[in-house]
Amino acid sequence: MKKVIEIKGMHCEHCRMTAEKALNEIPGVKAKVDFKKSQAVVSMDGDVPDEAFTKALEEFGYEAVSITMKKGLFA
């Protein structure tokens, strides 16, 4: 299962790395953050509540604006 998280508050490459690290620390999650798109694509082994993503990002000063299921052939 994959989700796309729109992230507010990233201003540089260091922000991208920090947000990616925060998301990857959630058990069962593999995240890839794209600074230019202000979003992360996360793959999950199981069901991870959206609140886990929101909380992880908020701890570092970022905001999860929206969290949606990734749709498409390669989701």
Structural fold of domain 2-69 = Alpha-Beta Plaits (3.30.70)
Centre a 10 Å sphere on the Cβ of residue 31 and count the other Cβ atoms it contains: 21
Instruction: Choose among 19, 17, 2: nearest CA to 67.
Output: 2
List the structure tokens of 30: 């593999």
- Is the pLDDT confidence value at 71 over 80? no
Question: Mean pLDDT across the stretch 50-55?
Answer: 97
pLDDT at 46: 87
| pTM of the model as a whole | 0.90
Nearest of 46, 55, 56, 45 to residue 20 by alpha carbon: 56
Q: Is 50 left (phi over 0), alpha (psi -120 to 50) or beta?
A: alpha
Domain ranges for the chain: 2-69
Spatial distance between the Cα atoms of 50 and 55, rounded to a whole number of angstroms = 9
